């Protein structure tokens, strides 16, 4: 549908008023922002030891994308959820591969980055469960059909802001 309703009617998105959808939307945004923060801390804390400037720039772009995705999710953009989940899968794989390398750097004779290697390794391992949570929550949100629109008379026309229960939809039984 386009964002226009017939005269005398307004568009209503019944799935957006459900408390589950509101909580999911906020959780996805929070996990995206936590992910972006972890990426930035790891990148800036290990800047001197990262393999080339390309990796560091790509990490900053990734964090910026996650912040943008959080903004879009807070505006009820459902289409970005599978993209965020796909990027989370890739980032989780990168984190699993990269974390042991930070612990391997904790040797005499190697220059230390701005943050201790153990902390960077721990934060990199922490990225994995955060990305798994992002994947799960984003897919739950995607299945909540935030995009569904209905027309209703302006002012609600007797409808509540929440969809009616199944019991309210059934006609009352006739007295015998």
- The tens digit of pLDDT for each residue in 9-65 reads 666 577 777 889 899 999 999 999 999 999 999 998 887 766 667 778 899 999 999
> Is 81's pLDDT higher than 50?
yes
Q: Using alpha carbons, select from 6, 4, 10 the residue that is nearest to residue 159.
A: 10
Residues 6+ apart with CB under 8 A from 113: 45, 46, 47, 48, 49, 105, 120
pLDDT on residue 106: 65
Q: What is the mean pLDDT of the chain?
A: 81
Strands 9-12 and 150-153, by their bridges, are: antiparallel
- Does position 97 have pLDDT exceeding 60, yes or no? yes
CA distance 84 to 129: 15
How many CA atoms, within 13 angstroms, populate the side-chain half-sphere of residue 110?
14
Counting residues of the chain whose pLDDT is more than 70, the rounded percentage is 72
């Amino acid at each position: 549908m386009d964002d226009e309703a017939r005269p005398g009617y307004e568009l209503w998105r019944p799935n957006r008023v459900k408390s589950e959808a509101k909580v999911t939307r906020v959780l996805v945004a929070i996990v995206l922002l936590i992910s972006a923060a972890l990426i930035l801390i790891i990148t800036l804390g290990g800047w001197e030891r990262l393999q080339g400037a390309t990796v560091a720039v790509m990490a900053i772009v990734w964090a910026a994308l996650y912040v943008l995705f959080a903004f879009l999710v807070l505006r009820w953009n459902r289409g970005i959820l599978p993209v965020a989940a796909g990027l989370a899968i890739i980032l989780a794989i990168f984190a699993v591969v990269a974390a042991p390398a930070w612990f391997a750097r904790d040797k005499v004779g190697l220059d230390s980055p701005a943050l201790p290697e153990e902390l960077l390794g721990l934060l990199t391992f922490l990225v994995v469960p955060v990305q798994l949570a992002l994947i799960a929550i984003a897919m739950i949100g995607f299945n909540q059909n935030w995009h569904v629109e209905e027309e209703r008379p302006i002012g609600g026309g007797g409808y509540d802001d929440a969809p009616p229960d199944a019991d309210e939809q059934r006609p009352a039984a006739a007295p015998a």
